[in-house]
Amino acid sequence: MRVLWALALCCVISLVGESTAIDAADIGSLISKGLFEKMLKRRNDGSNCQGKGFYTYEAFIAAAKSFGAFGTTGDVNTRKREIAAFLAQTSHETTGGWPSAPDGPYAWGYCFLKEQGNSDYCVQNRQWPCAPGRKYFGRGPIQISYNYNYGPAGKAIGSDLLHNPDLVATDATISFKTAFWFWMTPESPKPSCHDAITGRWTSSPADTAAGRVPGYGMTTNIINGGIECGKGATAQADNRIGFYKRYCDILGVSYGSNLDCNNQKPFD
Task: Specify if 166 maps to a domain.
Answer: no
pLDDT of residue 47: 80
Task: Specify if 134 maps to a domain.
Answer: no
**190 backbone dihedrals φ, ψ, rounded to 5°:** -80, 140
CATH of the domain at 96: 1.10.530.10
Are 133 and 165 a contacting pair, CB within 8 Å?
Answer: no
- pLDDT category at 23 given cuts 50, 70, 90 is very low
- 82, 93, 115, 187: the catalytic one is 93
- pLDDT category at 6 given cuts 50, 70, 90 is very low
Is the Cα dihedral 192, 197, 201, 205 positive or negative? positive
**43 backbone dihedrals φ, ψ, rounded to 5°:** -65, -20
Q: What confidence tens digit (pLDDT) does each residue in 128-137 have?
A: 999 999 999 9
CA angle 185, 258, 22 (to 5 degrees): 45
- Told to judge if 93 belongs to the known catalytic residues of this protein, a careful annotator would answer yes
pLDDT at 69 over 50: yes
pLDDT at 196 over 60: yes
pLDDT of residue 10: 39
Instruction: Give the Cα separation of 176 and 192 in Å (integer).
Output: 17
Per-state percent for the chain, helix, strand, coil, to nearest 5 = 45, 0, 55
Task: Specify if 136 maps to a domain.
Answer: no
pLDDT at 14 over 60: no
pLDDT of residue 13: 39
CA angle 49, 119, 221 (to 5 degrees): 75
pLDDT of residue 20: 37
Region 11-38: mean pLDDT is: 66
Give the domain extent around 97: 23-113+172-251
Region 197-224: mean pLDDT is: 96
Q: How many domains does the chain have?
A: 1
Greatest CA span in the chain, whole angstroms?
50
Task: Specify if 81 maps to a domain.
Answer: yes
Residue 215 is which amino acid? Answer: G
pLDDT at 1 over 70: no
- pLDDT category at 118 given cuts 50, 70, 90 is low
pLDDT of residue 11: 40
Query: For the ranges 4-13, 166-175, 240-249, which has the lowest average pLDDT?
Result: 4-13
pLDDT of residue 21: 38
Task: Specify if 68 maps to a domain.
Answer: yes
pTM of the model: 0.90
Are 1 and 140 a contacting pair, CB within 8 Å?
Answer: no
Region 73-100: mean pLDDT is: 97
Region 17-29: mean pLDDT is: 55
Task: Specify if 130 maps to a domain.
Answer: no
Mention every residue, 6+ apart, whose C-beta is less than 8 A from residue 86. Answer: 70, 179, 180, 183, 193
pLDDT at 5 over 60: no
Task: Specify if 64 maps to a domain.
Answer: yes
- Does residue 29 or residue 268 have the better pLDDT? 29
pLDDT at 223 over 80: yes
pLDDT of residue 3: 44
Q: What end-to-end distance do the CA atoms of the chain give, in Å? A: 20
Task: Specify if 238 maps to a domain.
Answer: yes
